[in-house]
Amino acid sequence: MCKLDRLGRNTRNLLARIDDLEQRGVHFRSVTEGISTTGSMGRAMLTVMSAFAQLERGQLAERTRAGRAVAAEHGRKAVRREVTAAHAKVKRARDLKAQGLAPADIGKIIGTSRATVYRYLSIGTSEAL
């Protein structure tokens, strides 16, 4: 697991999952956060970090709802625009890839992330399905 907040939906769910693991004789250890459930301090830190992750998720949901409400007030939908193979950046990414450039370099040239370049390159191909 890369992040602690991916293990449970909320603090209660995470602690129930950890309890279930411990009943089976398994101790949880997060290498990235540096905590372990073998001691009481680790369990307390797990609870606190999980509560902050839950708070962060809640705030993100609130910001999303607020953004959608503002968009609705202006008569718009708060959705990501669809990008097709005809989009200028998609065409440019394909041209640069055909010239042999790496996705990271393409991203720097067209002003997007490497992940977005991969998404652009897959539009209209069988991998995008």
The model's confidence at residue 31, banded by pLDDT at 50, 70 and 90, is confident
pLDDT at 128 exceeding the cut of 70: no
CA distance 89 to 35: 43
DSSP states of 56-123 = HHHHHHHHHHHHHHHHHHTT----PPP--TTSHHHHHHHHHHHTT--HHHHHHHHTS-HHHHHHHHHT
pLDDT at 46 exceeding the cut of 80: yes
The model's confidence at residue 27, banded by pLDDT at 50, 70 and 90, is confident
Instruction: Return the CATH class of domain 4-73.
Output: alpha beta
Q: Taking all residues of the chain, what is their mean pLDDT, rounded to a whole number?
A: 86
The string of pLDDT tens digits covering residues 76-123 is 877 777 888 889 999 999 999 999 999 999 999 999 999 999 999 998
> What is the helix (H) or strand (E) element at residue 20, kind and residue range?
helix 11-23
The pLDDT score that the predictor gives to residue 129 is: 34
Can you tell me the mean pLDDT for 58-75? 89
Can you tell me the mean pLDDT for 49-70? 90
Can you tell me the mean pLDDT for 6-10? 78
Domain ranges of the chain: 4-73, 88-128
